[in-house]
Amino acid sequence: MEHITLLLTIVVVTALVFDFTNGFHDTANAMATTISTGAMKPKTAVAMSAVLNLVGAFLSVEVAKTISSGLVNEEGIQPEVIFAALVGAILWNLLTWLVGLPSSSSHALMGGLIGATIASVGLGGVNGGVVVTKVLIPAIAAPLVAGLAAMLASRLTYRLGRNADRKTTDKGYRAGQIASAGLVSLAHGTNDAQKTMGIITLALVAGGILVPGSNPPVWVIVSAGLAIALGTYLGGWRIIRTMGKGLTDLQPQQGFAAQTSAAAVILSSSNLGFSLSTTHSCSGAVMGAGLGRKGGVVRWSTATRMFVAWGLTLPAAGLVAALSEYVTRQGTWGVIAVAAFLIASCTAIWFISRRQVVDHTNVNETETEAEAPGVVTTAIAAVTPPPAGTLTDDLKTTIPAPAPTDPAAPAATATV
């Protein structure tokens, strides 16, 4: 019993560490567009997001129940399995943060849990139907739905404001961005903080502290909310830079459309109990908003690297978790060895990240080179009417102006 108590303590602490990494890894989901368009200052934006993430953690437990009692069979799952799952998820979060790729913390956690469970009890320990209906299908549908909604919303905002003063509309949309960013933060807390609640609850069930099917205790909800809020406040500046400037260049109208669309998708999925990736939803919305403006360019080279990371998340986290589970199964020395490996790896990643620091002072700077419009962008732009007052340098053309009244006057040109 002492071993189980000690191991459960290690699992709970590790779960909260994962929740912390989830916070700073996913700050970009809510605040990248708000920061990149100048609607809010970086530090103010992440502070607001942190508070709303904490509030969102108390709004629902549906996703937590999906994680704790739906994804894998509770019987036969030992605390060592949960610990190994968290190791795989944390390392994947930190690696993708290091290279600035907005991958899914949710899928890292679920991939780790699936891999560790298979290594422990075999394929029978995983509920395949739940994986397909509540993980894989939403993973594909979420970015498509959010992207389409954001693209249509962007077109609508430009159409509605085509005769309005540009400065007035920008100011209004920046205010709207602040409100929609707050909604995304609230949705993120409602969805992502619950995943850690579910993992801790599953560990408590595995250790015999709770009965199967139990809801997360209050102390679990509070600790998970605080951990994700703290991580959010520190800000995942590398990923904020990629999502705010690396995927596309957004104007306030597009930022508002992207965040509102993403929030609607995330909140809907939370109420249905789908363990949705907020990263997939927000990234899809940003790209959709980029395609919703005439002349908007999605940088597909960056998007392709992001898609590859999405595809690798489940298997990569699962493989690390399976190997970790094999070592932890050897006894106390195995648990200590895996814990030491996790600490050493996290420390090494941190020191590597210090070679090129990205923080609130340079988050809007980007080294991404200008990318020519691709096939998708060109096709959509061809059927999209240009929004009034939003011409960009890449769309400017020079045409002859009306002939001067004085025949001796030199010919002039007008830029439109």
What single string gives the DSSP state of each residue in 325-379?
A: HHHHTT-HHHHHHHHHHHHHHHHHHHHHHTTS---TTTTT---PPP----HHHHH
What pLDDT does 360 receive? 78
Whose CA is closest to 179, among 40, 43, 47? Answer: 40
What pLDDT does 302 receive? 84
What pLDDT does 76 receive? 64
Q: How far apart are CA 335 and CA 329, in angstroms?
A: 8
Q: Is 100 left (phi over 0), alpha (psi -120 to 50) or beta?
A: left
Q: DSSP readout, 28-80?
A: HHHHHHHHHTTSS-HHHHHHHHHHHHHHHTTS--HHHHHHHHTSB-STT--HH
Residue 413 phi, psi (nearest 5): -125, 155
What pLDDT does 65 receive? 60
Residue 284 is encoded by which pair of tokens? 């899809």
pLDDT tens figures, 275-287? 667 788 888 888 8
pTM of the predicted protein model: 0.78
What pLDDT does 86 receive? 93
Counts for the chain of helices (H) and strands (E), in that order:
15, 2
What pLDDT does 379 receive? 47
What pLDDT does 132 receive? 84
Q: How far apart are CA 32 and CA 361, in angstroms?
A: 14
- HSE at residue 104, side-chain half, CA atoms within 13 A, is 36
Q: Which residues of the chain have pLDDT under 70?
A: 1-4, 60-70, 74-76, 235, 270-276, 296, 366-416
| 413-415 and 398-400 strand pairing | antiparallel
Q: Decide: helix, strand or coil at residue 142.
A: helix
What pLDDT does 110 receive? 85
What pLDDT does 376 receive? 45
Q: How far apart are CA 233 and CA 304, in angstroms?
A: 29
Q: How far apart are CA 375 and CA 394, in angstroms?
A: 16
State the alpha helices, DSSP H only, in 165-207.
166-206
What pLDDT does 74 receive? 67
